[in-house]
A and B are shown apart, each in its own frame.
Chain A
Amino acid sequence: MKDTGKNIIIAGVGGQGILLFSNLLSKFYMKLGYELKISDVIGLGQRGGGVESHFRYSTNPVLSPFIKAGDVDYLISFEQTETLRFLHCLKEDGIIFTSTYELTSTSVNTGLQKAMPGSKTEMILAADSTKYIINPDEHKSTEFDISKMMNIVMLGYYAEFRGYAHDDMIQVVRENVPAKFVEANLKAYQKGVSIACVEFASKESKVCVC
């Protein structure tokens, strides 16, 4: 294994399928023979709180369930405020994968805190790190509901970015989502792959294999 491991923060809000995303990824890395440690900070996710998963895979045993500050390789986020919350954890050469989806915090809705002025997307764009941004509104499909399956879209996107064998990842998806939803999930996965292909072709930063 050339890749000796990565530290990933997966972030978003309750109901976005972050735990499924982290679960699928863990099954994939286990099959590759990596050691894993995953810390799910659910907070009170289903009651409007944030969800944060510290995901670590390595060829060596993983010790701390926490990733040290400044030691995050990838930040994969499904909500823009959450992306901004974890930007500071990234390594110098860390990479951001984020959706432009936005859910206003209850603390703002109830007037406990002021709303952030300006565009969050622009704040993310201003970060020094390499970033890959997906706007779900630009990728709506009649075959699946992207507002519910952004997690699987992101999985396809991430797998393409990493150059992983899609057959293996798809197998993990098949084995771990309810039978009824497999087809829609595979469509979402393919969507993620094709968004990535277009993105990487235009940036010429990655060689597309699809």
Chain B
Amino acid sequence: MEKLMLLGDEAIAQGAVDAGLSGVYAYPGTPSTEITEYIQNLPLAAELGIHSDWSANEKTALETAIGMSYAGKRSLVCMKHVGLNVAADPFINLAVTGINGGMVVLVADDPSMHSSQNEQDSRFFARFANIPILEPSNQQEAYDMAYAGFELSEKFKLPIMLRVTTRLAHSRAGIARKPVQPQNQYKLPDDPRQFILLPAIARRRYKMLLDLQPDIAADALTSRFNQYIDGTDTSVGIIACGIAYNYLMENYPDGCPHPVLKISHYPAPVDHINRLIDTCDRIMVLEEGFPLLEELIKGISHKGPKVHGRLDGSLPRDGELNPDLVAKSLGLPLAESMEMPEIVANRPPSMCQGCSHIDAYAALNEALKPYGSGRAFSDIGCYTLGALPPYNAISSCVDMGASITMAKGAADAGMFPAVAVIGDSTFTHSGMTGLLDAVNEKSPITIIISDNETTGMTGGQKSSGTGRLEDICKGLGVEPEHIRVFVPLKKNFDEMVSVIAEELAYKGVSVVIPRRECIQTAMRKKREEVKDLNKKSNCKQ
């Protein structure tokens, strides 16, 4: 079979489909979005009837995937690292219930925060949950692990974490495929009480999970994804996790002279680690993310082996690794290169020309003038760029949905008016429950749901509440006369300002909805219309 040129994300998607996947569940989040999109656009997936619609958030996605596993089928759930915070509750409990059909939880971490609010290392979460982790070093391994992950999951009756980072998710390489496996048959769990976490059952299940740990560790020790490679120069032994293995080998095109332990399957293989410690004078740990293994190997007493890595400054404590940082940590010569001229301007992102958020911010800033700045709380999305000049319109961006609840908290502390600016997709992801809190206490806050009818930041995916935002707000108890909708355009500026001003003055919950389609999805639709017209006219000929 000819090799496919795939992104790491796409390789995972293809691997899961070929492994007999029945459904993928996800909320868009960089750098994980392309996995679900690939399955949505894959003719084979449509043919096989694989579920691939977006979920409202990561928690609903993970729970739905558990339901599919309960019914005996293989499910994949995908999220970015902060998405796992949202889904942490079902994630941790899933390790206790175990699975029926194989389940892979894909988490894409974003070290260096290319498109995130923080950097996290999701391996901690898997360790917390006591489940195995697969961490590919390249795209082929990403495919192979997605393919093998379901079998591993069914072997131990546990979910598996597949962990990647931005660079692997977003680079392409040739992928060799394996045969497509049939999907599992619908089949209920053998133990009808397996998924009922009442304390009596949960205690038993948790013990089962703990009893499994030696087996999981033994399995990882002999895993083909982990490899102990001998070397003659034992002055240092190197542990290279995930993609860091490639950064290491990039520096040794003719093979590494030092003993190397490649780790891509956790729990970390302790026997191999001990062998490396016994063989070498000191240990260098290369990890993409937090110094998880480094800290474990070093131990709390500081009387353990000599360990280098992110904790002792051999590598930076934060940010993603690259071949140059790895070279430096090992004392290898770096290429002498010219410096980048300081004069080269940065190119930070900005809102698109014609973006509806720009008009909404113009009106909001004008309406807030009498009250002074520092009272608009915002959220995660393109509109977060409203924090930058020339808008300088918002004072916060913490996590999905926090605009509404922070505005409520500030109002509780005496701020009036307090404003929340949230996108339509973020609102249905995590804003609705906060709105209910505000309605229950009649908090004097104004919520701007800047509705561009899509999930814009990640490239225009379906937004869960499109066409139903007013109904949702009404249903949650917002008074209909305080739900105001307008079209954010320059020509409507005066109308927008007066609507927002009226609602700012109201001492209860108001929802203002500036609604105009995202300029990017609108342009894409137009291009597709042209393409369709073209096809039709070709047919006539």
Contact = CB atoms under 8 A, between A and B. Distances in A.
Q: Which of A40, A86, A105, A106 has the most CB of B within 10 A?
A: A106
Nearest to A106: B350
Contact of A47 (B339, B345, B349, B534): B349
Interface of B: 3, 5, 114-115, 138-139, 167-168, 170-174, 246-247, 249-251, 253, 322-324, 327, 334-341, 343-352, 382, 385, 388-390, 520, 530-531, 534, 538
Q: Which of B167, B520, B534 has the most CB of A within 10 A?
A: B167
A88 B339 contact: yes
Q: Please report whether the interface of chain B is mostly helix, strand, loop or mixed according to DSSP.
A: loop
Interface in A1-59: 13, 26-27, 30, 35-44, 46-50, 54
Nearest to B114: A43
B5 A36 contact: yes
A36 B349 contact: no
A88 B338 contact: yes
Nearest to A45: B349
B345 A108 contact: yes
Given A30-B5, A39-B167, A44-B115, A49 B347 contact: yes
15 contacts: A26-B5, A38-B5, A38-B171, A44-B349, A48-B348, A63-B138, A81-B344, A84-B344, A88-B339, A90-B338, A106-B350, A107-B347, A108-B345, A115-B345, A116-B345
Contacts of B343: 84, 116-117
A49 B345 contact: no
Contact of B347 (A38, A60, A88, A105): A105
A163 interface: no
A110 B390 contact: yes
A180 interface: yes
Given A81-B344, A81-B345, A82-B347, 17 more contacts: A39-B171, A41-B114, A41-B170, A50-B347, A64-B246, A64-B250, A65-B167, A66-B322, A70-B334, A84-B344, A88-B339, A105-B346, A107-B348, A111-B389, A114-B345, A115-B345, A116-B345
A113 B345 contact: yes
B349 A63 contact: no
| Pairs A-B, 8 closest by C-beta atoms | A70-B335, A44-B349, A65-B171, A70-B337, A39-B171, A64-B250, A47-B349, A106-B350
Contacts of B389: 110-112
A74 to B, nearest CB: 15
Given A37-B173, A63-B249, A69 B335 contact: yes
